[in-house]
Amino acid sequence: MRKRNVESEKQTILREPESSYEKALKQKYRAGFIKGIICAVILCCAVVVLISWWTMNRKVEVTVRGNGDTVQTARYPQVLDNSAIEKINYLAAFIQANYYEEVDGDDLVNAMYKGMFESLDEYSDYYTQEEYQDLLEQEVTGSFSGIGATLQQDRKTKQVTVVSVQEGSPAEKAGLQSGDVVVEADGYQASDMELSEFVQHVHGEEGTSVHLVVQREGVSGQMEFDITRSKVETQTVTSDMLNDKIGYLKISEFTNNTPKQFEAALEELENQDMQGLVVDLRNNPGGMLTAVTEILDDILPEGMIVYTEDRAGNRQEYRSTDEKVLSVPITVLVNENSASASEIFAGAIKDRDYGTLIGTTTFGKGIVQGIQEFNDKTAVKLTTSRYYTPNGTCIQGKGIEPDIKLEYKFQGGENDKYSYSLDNQIQKAVEVLEQEID
């Protein structure tokens, strides 16, 4: 029996011509395979395009304030795409890897947040939890542990200046004055940090002390102060009778408790048979819009106080009623450091022709900031609108011209202490009021 040549058969079988069915099947398979590859490529491209489109066009839901107290949400395009996020993470890692000192990751993140707001204007800001809590203590509770001085920082030069010193405060007792430039606090340079961070070194536990180095105009060299911190009540209103007819009321800033303090001080002056009132807003940096409008509602008859408009044209009006009206003539003292809410006060008095402004042109801050708190107890302050005086004037960058221009000049000698009688602007205000009374 002959052996089968298996290998030869294999070859023969492999070499057999394909049937038409097999050819069609293979062609169909090849065509399907190629189509599959093409479809897969197209699908991958589509996915990439869709992901890119989604990344570029995905939106973030944010809180938007409308007219009045209405709050709504809106969706805005997400600014940071994947490449931007990757770059931020790379830069943070690069800093941590190469900076000559150890860097705290949280500090980098907070600096990034703050940087976003620094790109807008000098008033918008981001607050960490600690900074926001400190802000709340001063504006809501009206008290804090510190020295009793209001500080202001130039955004470009980082110079920190004392805007006002609270009467009876540790700062006043130590000899700190309005206009002093604070160079450092406990060795921390003011020019090396944001004001919110620098203030943390000025504030502290009650009973502890802070060492300040300041520069004062007209004094050669630097001055040093050791000031013991105490619980400081934010007393923003002080009052006195300048003579038997003229009352004097100074507002250092507008906080939540200012309207009640104003009302109490005004009532005390009226009980002393006041016939004319001097309101001193010099060196008042401003404050809360609601505070100044509440005070003006106690002074002006029914009508417009101020109105705001955002970029969408949403308008919010603040009007006075006839519930309370100041029945005596009024003069208002202003200067180049009278800003924001102080200018709302001055603008309303001037436009409504309800008093006389005396002093120098005001600061020129005609924009309004709002504060938004987040779930993690951080917050932002953002410029949201412009404000307009009753006549429709926006004073941003221009200020308000007083009715009587008069530069401040101390009338006393070199060794004389300040008193109302030696303040030429106060004396001019008294003169104007006495003419109206007579």
Would you name the residues annotated as active-site residues?
Answer: 340, 365, 369
- Helix, coil or strand: residue 239: strand
Angle at CA 309, nearest 5°, toward 306 and 72? 120
Q: Which residues pair with 239 in a beta bridge?
A: 249
Which stretches does DSSP call E strand in 139-264? 143-146, 149-153, 160-165, 181-185, 188-189, 209-215, 223-228, 230-233, 237-241, 246-251
Q: Are strands 125-127 and 143-146 parallel, antiparallel or unpaired?
A: unpaired
**Sheet order of strands, 246-251 included:** 237-241, 246-251, 276-280, 330-334, 356-359, 404-405
Cβ-contact 258, 287 below 8 angstroms: yes
Query: Under DSSP, is residue 196 helix (H, G, I), strand (E, B) or coil?
Result: helix
Q: Coil, helix or strand for 120?
A: coil
Q: Are 295 and 341 in contact (CB under 8 A)?
A: no
Residue located via tokens 């009226």 = 270
Give Cβ neighbours of residue 235 (< 8 Å, ≥ 6 apart).
166, 167, 168, 252, 261
